[in-house]
A and B are shown apart, each in its own frame.
Chain A
Amino acid sequence: MHKGKLWRRIRPHAAGWLCASPWILGFLVFTLGPMIWSIYYSLTEYPLIRPPVWVGLDNYRFMLQEDKFFFNSLRVTTLYAIVAVPLHLVMGFLMALMLNQKIRYIALWRTVYFLPSVVSGVAVALLWQWIFNSDFGLANWLLGLVGIDGPSWLLSPTWALPALIIMSLWGVGGSMVIFIAGLQGVPQALYEAAEIDGSNAVQRFWHVTVPMVSPVILFNLIIGLIAALQTFTQAFIMTAGGPKQSTHFFMLHLYNNAFQWLKMGYASALAWVLFAYILIATLFVIRSSSLWVFYEGEIKGR
């Protein structure tokens, strides 16, 4: 009887816990557990074939003092993010503005711009490696049409990273679609009111459109930033980090340490540095957002 009473109290909760249990198990086995192990590994030397040996903070010391690729990979990754992410925002936003007007065949236009963003992975990397072929590639053919003698792109330490940035812009359709949805969420009444107040189109853009979609800008900024800092496949397939380490992304460095050189301990330390970097960058963006992101609720709240 006593047992039955307890069961009656637990029962309504048990169903919920049971349905959520796949995730709870997965979280413990594939997220929380590995996170704790990862901290431990980052403090050991662990060549996989032998058990881990405690080395304290030596991995982090090695990173800062001896690893000659570490700072370069940070620099490459940061440079890529700083250039590619704002370019994505500006291009995505401009395209959304153009495709949020009353134009003919609007669905078709949107499809064309959105299409390249749905393909990804190795196939796309190979396509762009061929496009950037310095002798027979599409990029230099197009440049030749306007009279420019194109560079050797992926073979040039100067142009390899810009090539990867240009390639990433092909996928800008994803953020464009989010911007279009954001633009469509701006109440028409605001534009009408601004027009009655005698504003011109430019003023309406800066004082109505931009503030109203600023939360979407913030979202695209954060998602883009996180993705850029984790860039891997393109660099791995197209340049393998070269030439002269000019595309040696952080994630490539991590992969090489873990799975080429089997330095599992050191790779774990690198992973935590990447995590800290992403976290700090994201928090910085979110902090700064109070200066430039406008939430409708702010007015209603006052």
Chain B
Amino acid sequence: MATGIGTAVRHQVDFRIRAGRLLARTSLYMVLSLGAFLFLVPFVWMVSTALKEAGDVMKFPPEWIPQPVLWGNFVEAFTQDYAPFGIFFKNTIVITATAVFGQLLSASLVGFSFARLRWWGRDYLFLVVLATMMLPYQVTLVPVFVLMKVLGWIDSFLPLIVPFYLGGGAFYIFLFRQFMMTIPLELDDAARIDGCGTLWLYARIILPLSGPALATAAIFSFLAHWNDFIGPLIYLNSVSNYTLSLGLRILQGYGGYGIQRWNLLMAASLFVMLPVLLLFFFAQKYFIQGIVTYGVKG
């Protein structure tokens, strides 16, 4: 009998604990779902607006499923002659591709130098690299602009590309250095014994082994150049040289003062975001790795 009561009590306690856990679980999932809804609904809103007729955009409460679904908005966003998006797209690709390439090339070479070579002054200069991470770009904004003007580079792509071939920025150098430090040093010795020169060592041994660092750096560099706004805003004057960011800015004024064509604007914005989102879905691992390297190991 005693055991029976004991079991019953134990069952009851068990039940309470389990009920408590279930409650905690359920509320956790509810909070997470509500949060996920709030984080995703702007995207849905954007797509929905991008596919609406101009008149349906100004309906409240909003119609979530556009009737009719107007895929033509993407075509119109691209072909209206107010802001030639085809040209902006091409310009952005040219600038981004050239700048990313230079940034990877030069940051990996410099990172290689700091990680794998021994030379006088190296550690002091690395401190300088880290110090420049702390320097806000505003301090050099005006003099660099004046320099570009003196060089005659205003309204060309050069100010948005050339600086990245010279070191590629402290964050990227740091990223490559940290990664290359983890490659066993014996490899260098073996390569040296085989009569391998420094550049060969970099190009044929260390760089091919730095795949993850390259992928992470490529993603962050791509994001930075693709989304850059203040650079093009300052340096590019003629519309034929504009990038997508600046294109969106002029499309904002399309349709007269104060009246914005939100369906076209959302279609164009979605188009600008799309490469980033695609990249994210294919390479999420490297996005997270980059942030974590910076945050935890940094």
Contacts and interface: CB of A to CB of B under 8 A. Distances in A.
A283 to B, nearest CB: 10
Interface stretch (A135-143, A203-211, A290-298): A135-143
A130 B265 CA distance: 9
A116 B135 contact: no
Interface in B265-294: 265-266, 268-270, 272-273, 276-277, 280, 284, 287-288, 291-292
B139 interface: yes
A27 to B, nearest CB: 6
A34 B144 contact: yes
Contacts of B276: 118-119
Nearest to B49: A130
Interface in B94-129: 106, 109-110, 112-114, 117-122, 125, 128-129
B113 A20 contact: yes
Interface in A256-294: 258-259, 264, 267-268, 271-272, 274-275, 278-279, 282
Given A116-B42, A271-B138, A25 B110 contact: no
B15 interface: no
Contacts of A279: 134
- Interface of B (DSSP majority class): helix
Given A22-B109, A219-B295, A274-B136, A127 B118 contact: no
A27 B128 contact: yes
Interface string A128-150: 10110101101001101000000
Contacts of A119: 273, 276-277
B59 A127 contact: no
Interface residues of A, number: 89
A102 B228 CA distance: 38
B296 interface: yes
Interface string A208-220: 0000000010011
A41 B227 CA distance: 30
A136 B54 CA distance: 13
A19 B202 contact: yes
B117 A16 contact: yes
A57 interface: no
Interface in B33-64: 35-36, 39-43, 45-46, 49, 57-62
Nearest to B229: A233
Given A178-B296, A182-B296, A216-B296, A115 B29 contact: no
Contacts of B60: 135-136, 141
Interface string B136-156: 101111111111010000000
Given A20-B114, A264-B142, A126 B265 contact: yes
The 9 closest A-B pairs by CB, nearest first: A26-B166, A16-B119, A23-B167, A121-B227, A19-B113, A34-B143, A178-B295, A26-B167, A16-B117
10 contacts: A17-B113, A19-B113, A20-B125, A98-B31, A113-B39, A115-B40, A119-B276, A177-B295, A275-B138, A279-B134
